[in-house]
């Protein structure tokens, strides 16, 4: 019977959760679900120096904000808990002791000053910085005496000499590294906390992780991880190292220097979570039928990590905006209004927003576009005389405003149809230039040259406000 597929994501609470992290989490989630398996969330907080208060809660919140979930982990528990590394310290200590007992690891008493001096010397000699193994063959009895005396130490892996370390990457095939190029890495730090390298192997093994889908920056660490697995006598998982996102300009790894990378910030900017997930799905992976709009269920059905491109892909903001626009227009007006609630300013009532929404739905790219595209409906506007009289004269515009005010004031039924009928009849009767007149009228009632359809807008603005604005425009001439 085949082993149940179990994937994981193991974020560190050291800052904002990156969109690249969400994209990787999505792939781990999809592969587990594709195989009827489990997706595990684990918090890797062994780096206590860089740990940020409240970061764990934010990570959990943003994952849920994207509409994703986990089968085991924080808030849920599971058979392999705890799922927070700082609560698993005894497990790591026991694992490290097992390696010491089997001569697969050793105590190292080198001070920070000694190691700095060693690195400086290696750099001066143009050698790659590497621990020189000075305590690798130190007598175990002497080491235990120093430990018992309370002397600071770390525990290092005893990397086998002159062996070839090979692992298979689902995207790149077999990768081999000579063990002479792998450092005797630290497994347990002097503060009693494990390094990432020990903790991740112990936890992945204990939690039955079968596939590790992670960023390509971890390729160089994978030989270390394979060696730790072999030291324990355990079978490594299957690896897939996913290329990084490139900046929107295509130059370099996506970073804060070229704009925001925070996963939460995209939600705050008014991108729909399902649109963002759809965008992440098709970055470096293609649906069998080349579909670009697809649901999470459809992605799960077809996703296989071996089909991910091994080349880095550009974080194409234009494509993201197009996808988001498609999702916005696929919502009913009632659904969209509900999604818009956090983005509707306090001076716009929900009833106003509901009336305005059909006029701007086709023009929304993100939910945050609502306010700049609608502010003139519920806020005072400013009119510039030069713009108002463009392509005409103050005298002609004055007459147009007077006649339009009278025609609209005389309307007994205030509807889009009646407004259009009255205004068009007036324009034809007076033989005003069509483009000039309608642009002037649009500007007079909205303070903007780019608005929703004119007669729909006038209808929603309401008779009282439209007449007030026409009067105010008339007053500046």
pLDDT in tens, 55-92: 999 999 999 999 999 999 999 999 999 999 999 999 99
- Per residue, what are the HEC states of 312-336? CEECCHHHHHHHHHHHHHHCCHHHH
* Selection from 476, 467, 469 nearest residue 446 by Cα: 469
* Selection from 310, 174, 182, 168 nearest residue 239 by Cα: 168
Collapse the DSSP code of 386 into the 3-class scheme (helix H, G, I; strand E, B; otherwise coil) and give the result. Answer: helix
Instruction: Please give the radius of gyration of the chain, using alpha carbons only, rounded to the nearest integer.
Output: 32
- With tokens 């929900």, the residue in question is 350
Q: Of all helices (H) and strands (E), which one includes residue 300?
A: helix 296-302
Residues in the chain: 477
Check residue 22 and give left, alpha or beta (phi > 0: left; psi -120 to 50: alpha). alpha
pLDDT digits over 156-207, tens only?
999 999 999 999 999 999 999 999 999 999 999 999 999 999 999 999 999 9
Q: What is the pLDDT of residue 254?
A: 78
Q: What is the pLDDT of residue 1?
A: 55
**Residue 214, beta-bridge partner list:** 241
* Structure tokens given for 422: 């009255």
Q: What is the pLDDT of residue 259?
A: 60
DSSP characters over 217-284: GGGGGHHHHHHHHHHHTPPP-EEEEEPPEEPTTSSSB--GGGS--BHHHHHHTT--HHHHHHHHHHSS
Grade residue 256 by pLDDT with cuts at 50, 70 and 90: low
The one catalytic residue in 121, 256, 406, 430 is 256
Q: What is the pLDDT of residue 315?
A: 94
Give pTM, 2 decimals.
Answer: 0.92
Q: Is 256 a known active-site residue?
A: yes
CB 170 within 8 A of CB 306: yes
Q: Is the pLDDT of residue 258 over 70?
A: no
- Domains in the chain, ordered, with CATH? 263-370 (1.10.1160.10), 380-475 (1.10.10.350)
Q: How far apart are CA 182 and CA 128, in angstroms?
A: 11
CB 388 within 8 A of CB 397: yes
CB 62 within 8 A of CB 21: no
- With tokens 């001096």, the residue in question is 117
Strand ranges, E, within 91-172: 105-108, 154-157, 164-169
pLDDT digits over 346-356, tens only?
999 999 999 99
CB 376 within 8 A of CB 446: yes
pLDDT digits over 428-473, tens only?
999 999 999 999 999 999 999 989 999 999 999 999 999 999 999 9
Q: What is the pLDDT of residue 257?
A: 53
Backbone angles phi, psi at 91, to 5 degrees: -65, -40
HSE, CB side, 13 Å, CA atoms: give it for residue 298: 15
Collapse the DSSP code of 308 into the 3-class scheme (helix H, G, I; strand E, B; otherwise coil) and give the result. Answer: coil
Q: What is each CA distance from 210 to 175, 244, 250, 309, in whole angstroms?
A: 19, 22, 34, 21
């Amino acid at each position: 019977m085949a082993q149940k597929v179990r994937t994981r994501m193991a974020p560190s609470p050291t800052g904002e959760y990156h969109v690249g992290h969400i994209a990787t989490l999505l792939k781990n989630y999809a592969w587990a679900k594709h195989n009827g398996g489990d997706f595990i969330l684990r918090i890797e907080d062994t780096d206590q120096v860089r740990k940020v208060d409240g970061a764990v809660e934010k990570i959990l919140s943003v994952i849920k904000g994207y509409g994703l979930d986990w089968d085991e982990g924080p808030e849920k528990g599971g058979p392999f808990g705890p799922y927070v590394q700082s609560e698993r310290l005894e497990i790591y200590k026991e694992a490290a002791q097992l390696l010491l007992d089997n001569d697969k690891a050793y105590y190292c008493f080198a001070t920070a000053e000694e190691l700095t001096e060693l690195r400086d010397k290696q750099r001066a000699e143009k050698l790659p910085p590497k621990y020189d193994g000075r305590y690798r063959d130190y007598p175990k009895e002497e080491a235990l005496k120093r430990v018992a005396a309370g002397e600071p130490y770390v525990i290092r892996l005893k990397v086998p000499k002159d062996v070839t370390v090979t692992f298979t990457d689902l995207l790149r095939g077999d990768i081999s590294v000579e063990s002479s190029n792998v450092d005797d890495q630290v497994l347990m730090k002097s503060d009693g906390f494990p390094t990432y390298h020990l903790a991740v192997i112990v936890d992945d093994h204990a939690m039955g992780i079968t596939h590790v889908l992670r960023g390509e920056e971890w390729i160089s660490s994978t030989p270390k991880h394979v060696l730790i697995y072999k030291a324990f006598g355990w079978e490594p998982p299957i690896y897939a190292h996913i290329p990084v996102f490139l900046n929107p300009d295509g130059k370099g790894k996506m970073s804060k220097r070229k704009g925001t990378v925070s996963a939460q910030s995209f939600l705050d900017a008014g991108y729909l979570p399902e649109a963002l997930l759809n965008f992440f799905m098709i970055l470096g992976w293609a649906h069998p039928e080349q579909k670009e709009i697809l649901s999470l269920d459809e992605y799960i059905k077809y996703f296989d990590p071996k089909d991910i491109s091994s080349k880095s892909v550009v974080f194409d903001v234009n494509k993201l905006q197009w996808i988001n626009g498609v999702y916005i227009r696929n919502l009913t007006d009632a659904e969209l209004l509900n999604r818009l609630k956090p983005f509707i300013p306090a001076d716009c009532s929900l009833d106003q927003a509901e009336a305005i929404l059909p006029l701007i739905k086709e023009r929304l790219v993100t939910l945050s576009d609502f306010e700049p595209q609608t502010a003139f409906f519920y806020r005072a506007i400013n009119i510039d005389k030069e713009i108002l009289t463009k392509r005409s004269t103050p005298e002609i515009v004055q007459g147009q405003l007077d006649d339009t005010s009278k025609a609209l004031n005389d309307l007994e039924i205030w509807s889009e149809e009646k407004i259009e009928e009255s205004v068009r009849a007036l324009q034809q009767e007076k033989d005003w230039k069509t483009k000039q007149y309608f642009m002037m009228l649009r500007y007079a009632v909205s303070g903007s040259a780019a608005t929703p359809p004119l007669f729909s807008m006038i209808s929603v603005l309401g008779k009282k406000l439209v007449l007030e604005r026409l009067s105010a425009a008339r007053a500046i001439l």
